[in-house]
Amino acid sequence: MINLKDVLKDAQTIGISGHVHPDGDCIGATLGLYNYIKDNYPMKNVRLFLEEIPDVFNFLHRSEEIVHGTTDDAFDLYFVMDCSDELRLGDYAKHLQNTTHTVCVDHHKSNKLDTEYAYVVPDASSTSELVYNLLPKEAVTKEIAECLYTGIVHDTGVFQYSCTAKSTMEAAGFFMEKGIDYSSIVERTYFEKTFAQNRILARAVLRANLWHDGEIIISYLTREEMAEFDATPQDLDGIVNQLRITKGVEVAVFLYETGDGEFKASLRSKSRVDVSEIALKFGGGGHLRAAGATMKGEAEEILTMLLPEITKRLEKGND
């Protein structure tokens, strides 16, 4: 584990960023760390860089200070959070060229970053739980607790996935004691959907097909459909989880078109298949039970590429 106090000691200009299309964990972990540095090191110049975040996270403390563009400024210290490689850092990867010391805090099995300091725990529920481990407990305010609780809730599917450990529940209990409105965080940031989100979810579920005796479920949406429902990629978060809970399913795949002949694939599994291995094969990455990749081809072609890889692993698991 790294010692945050030592790492921060001599740094005056600090940058923090996370992966493209930031999710609840990425937003919670980066804002939790940002708030801690702002609260405790007011003389340091710290900036948080993330792509646009979904509106549901706007209640998190200092989220309005997030910088969306890049800078040519140099940094003494740069934190790369919840991100497994430079490509996933998007435009912010260029900040690393201008940085003296780099730190990575992450829980991706597929982490390939080579930073000076690294706190990478593939078994950890979330990067937010790792940030909790790094912070002095007396410095965790209610606002920081809200950020980190949100992050944990999103990466554990509200404490449901097998990445949830005793330490995860203990961290969550600690945050509850800070007076956070935990049920409202779950309701407003995780479960609540707009009417448009619900309708496009319905379209994806209707499109879905089962394979391999109902152990694999796959669905996709095209750009035309996303336009028809006035949906952004952010509106599609959660579709793959809805597919995954189908009775009898072990592996769920959801694809959405990102460009001409290009789809983003989200993969989830319940208990036997390591989907990060499959995602890695197609240039992506992730965790044991949740992974993703950007894939070339039409939906049917991508399906033809993915199915044998999934089937192979299901049959190996059945031995």
Residues near ligand AMP, by CB under 6 A: 19, 84, 88, 266, 284-287, 290-294
Is the Cβ of residue 143 or residue 277 nearer to ligand AMP in the bound state?
Answer: 277
Spatial strand order in the sheet of 209-211? 209-211, 216-221, 251-259, 262-269, 290-296, 285-286
Q: Does 23 bind Mn ion (CB under 5 A)?
A: yes
C-beta closer to ligand AMP: residue 61 or 88 = 88
Q: How far is the CB of 43 from ligand AMP (least distance, A)?
A: 34
Q: Does 26 bind Mn ion (CB under 5 A)?
A: yes
Cβ nearer to ligand AMP, comparing 15 with 292 = 292
155 binds Mn ion (CB under 5 A): yes
Residue nearest Mn ion, Cβ-based: 25
Nearest to 200 by CA among 223, 175, 170, 173: 223
Q: Give the separation between CA 17 and CA 11, rounded to whole angstroms.
A: 16
85 binds Mn ion (CB under 5 A): no
Cβ 286 to ligand AMP shortest distance, Å: 3
Please name the amino acid found at residue 142: K
Q: Which is nearer to Mn ion, 25 or 146 (CB)?
A: 25
Q: How far is the CB of 97 from ligand AMP (least distance, A)?
A: 21
Long-range CB pairs of 50-58 (<8 Å, 24+ gap) are 50/17, 50/18, 50/22, 50/26, 51/20, 51/21, 51/22, 51/90, 53/22, 53/27, 54/234, 54/237, 56/188, 56/189, 56/192, 57/24, 57/27, 57/28, 57/150, 57/189
Tell me the residue number closest to ligand AMP, measured at CB: 292
Buried b (16+ CB within 10 A) or exposed e, 50-64: bbebbebbeebbebe
We find the least distance from the C-beta atom of residue 24 to ligand AMP, in angstroms, to be 10
Q: How far is the CB of 25 from Mn ion (least distance, A)?
A: 4
Closest to ligand AMP by CB, 15 vs 285, is: 285
CA 105 remoteness from chain centre: 13
Closest approach of ligand AMP to the CB of residue 74, in Å: 28
| 250 part of the interface to Mn ion, by CB under 5 A | no
Query: Judging by DSSP bridges, how do beta strands 99-106 and 285-286 pair with one another?
Result: unpaired
CB 75 within 8 A of CB 7: no
Q: Tell me which stretch binds Mn ion (CB under 5 A): 71-79, 122-130, 132-140, 311-319.
A: 122-130
Pick between residue 280 and residue 305 the one whose CB is nearest to Mn ion: 280
Of residues 246, 192, 195, 194, the one with CA closest to residue 219 = 246
Kindly write out the interface string for residues 175-204 of this chain, putting x where it contacts Mn ion by CB under 5 A and - elsewhere. ------------------------------
Nearer to ligand AMP, 151 or 285 (CB): 285
**Binders of Mn ion in range 213-232 (CB under 5 A):** none
> In the 8-state DSSP scheme, what is residue 269?
E
Cβ atoms of 217 and 180 closer than 8 Å: no
Q: Which residues bind Mn ion (CB under 5 A)?
A: 23, 25-26, 82, 126-127, 155
